[in-house]
Amino acid sequence: MIRSEVLKSLIPVISDQLVVCNIGLPSQELHLLDDQPSNFYMLGTMGLASSIGLGLALAQKQKVIAIDGDGSVLTNFGTLPTIANNVADNFILLIIDNGSYGSTGDQPTYAGRKTSLAAVASACGCEHVVECQAEQAAAAVQAALDADEMTIIVCKCESGNIKVPVIEMDPVVIRDRFMKQVQARNS
Amino acid sequence: MIAINWILALPNQCQQIMSVNEKIVTDLVNNNVSFITTVPCKQLAGVIDGIDKCDDIFHIPSNKEDEGMGLCAGAYMGGKRAAIIMQNTAIGVTINTLATLIQYYHIPLPMLISYRGEIGEPVACQVEMAVHTKALLAQLNIPTYHFHHPDDVEEFDAILKYCFMSKKPVAILTDASFWKGA
Ligand SMILES: [Mg+2]
């Protein structure tokens, strides 16, 4: 399975959740598969999906799923100690680890070689770290939602991309409709 | 009683620092800023300590300032007013995040910035970013205020209100003279 297939398998589980989605193809694929006002698409700023997701989870009560990539976590490695030391039990970080920088042409990342992101997350102090194969991604996210504890999921999948259009929605529209969802769900 | 006597015994200059730090924390609380991320600087030690001890503010140290801005963006979307406290060297780290996240999505972000490399600076290398700081902020069209005298802190409350009204990042540069009351 490649990332777009993993995302497709996740839709029944995440469609009604607050989702912060990583820059580039992941956001474009999610937008194509299941556009929701409860999705926050990153149009730029590689690496910050997990930080935005954690800030959101700490600021309000609804569950938050940040969909990140191996390349993006490597770009913002400092995020893992911050997550570990500021536990938000409504936060799930799903790292779709295809061992490559998918959006830029599948250049290999170190996560596809010697570096285990799950081991790094554990070493940083994250208490619930799950590594799974692509086929188990939906079940792993559902289990994390049911568990009511902060969970880091590293989902290993194959590298490869499908053709998807860019997101033409205005960033302020993305933020505004997302914030209205957050507000409505917390009131 | 013991604490009060101790404060009174401090030299005048030190009292001024305390009042500047207290004013900043008080203004943040009065403007409902309840989520603050910090990356430390020597000059900011007192205000960071004040924020950490303040029950009305959730203090989350970040490892890098762009990460901190991501945390603030998330907290803002979660309904909290957020702010970042950092050194001016961080402008070099955060330009992309300021342009493509904070400005692009219209997110208000007060940035209380220690302005290292100004008069009174003991470390020569700090001057190398100081000379670029205002030019970079101007290039980004970021409203920028420079606190030089301790009295300049009086404007902090109005700057916070301006920041949340305009939904922009706003920079408050605070130099050594401001912190030392020199
Ligand atoms: Mg990848």
Three-state DSSP state, B85: strand
Select from A23, A42, A48 the residue whose CB has the most chain B CBs within 10 Å, as the one to mutate to test that interface: A48
**Angular region, B147: left φ>0, alpha ψ -120 to 50, beta rest:** beta
A41 in contact with chain B, both atoms CB, cutoff 8 A: no
Look at residues B85, B59, B69, B107 and name the one whose alpha carbon lies nearest to residue A52: B69
**Angular region, B141: left φ>0, alpha ψ -120 to 50, beta rest:** left
The phi and psi torsions of B167 (rounded to 5 degrees) equal 55, 45
Looking at residue B180, its pLDDT comes to 84
Answering whether pTM is above 0.90, one says yes
Looking at residue B14, its pLDDT comes to 46
pLDDT band, very low/low/confident/very high, at B11 (cuts 50, 70, 90): very low
Contacts of A68 in chain B (CB under 8 A): none
Contact B74 A183 (CB under 8 A): no
pLDDT band, very low/low/confident/very high, at B6 (cuts 50, 70, 90): very low
Select from B34, B67, B109 the residue whose CB has the most chain A CBs within 10 Å, as the one to mutate to test that interface: B67
Strand order across the beta sheet in which A91-97 lies: A39-41, A18-21, A64-69, A91-97, A151-156, A129-133
Nearest to B79 among A171, A172, A186 (CB): A186
Output the tens digit of pLDDT for each of chain A's 187 residues. Answer: 999 999 999 999 999 999 999 999 999 999 999 999 999 999 999 999 999 999 999 999 999 999 999 999 999 999 999 999 999 999 999 999 999 999 899 999 999 999 999 999 999 999 999 999 999 999 999 999 999 999 999 999 999 999 999 999 999 999 999 999 999 999 9
What is the mean pLDDT of the segment spanning B56-69?
Answer: 98
pLDDT band, very low/low/confident/very high, at B143 (cuts 50, 70, 90): very high
Q: Which CATH number fits domain A3-185: 3.40.190.10, 3.40.50.970, 3.30.930.10, 2.60.40.1120?
A: 3.40.50.970
pLDDT band, very low/low/confident/very high, at B17 (cuts 50, 70, 90): low
Chain B nearest C-alpha distance from A1 (Å): 30
A101 in contact with chain B, both atoms CB, cutoff 8 A: no
Select from A75, A82, A179 the residue whose CB has the most chain B CBs within 10 Å, as the one to mutate to test that interface: A82
Q: pLDDT of B34-52, one tens digit each?
A: 999 999 999 999 999 999 9
Contacts of A185 in chain B (CB under 8 A): none
Looking at residue B5, its pLDDT comes to 40
Window 118-177 of A, Cβ < 8 Å to B: 171-172, 174-175
Distance A41 CA to ligand 1 centre (A): 17
Q: Yes or no: say if B34 and B81 are a contact pair by the CB < 8 Å rule.
A: yes
Which domains, and CATH codes, for chain B? Answer: 19-110+133-179 (3.40.50.970)
Contacts of B78 in chain A (CB under 8 A): 55-60, 182
On the question of pLDDT at B12 being above 80, the answer is no
Contact B82 A179 (CB under 8 A): no
Chain A nearest C-alpha distance from B103 (Å): 10
Q: Yes or no: say if B78 and B53 are a contact pair by the CB < 8 Å rule.
A: no
Q: Give the residue extent of every domain in chain A.
A: 3-185
DSSP secondary structure, A20-89, as one string: EE-TTHHHHHHHHHH--TTEEE--S-TT-HHHHHHHHHHHSSS-EEEEEEHHHHHHTTTHHHHHHHS--T
Looking at residue B18, its pLDDT comes to 54
H/E segment holding residue A133: strand A129-133
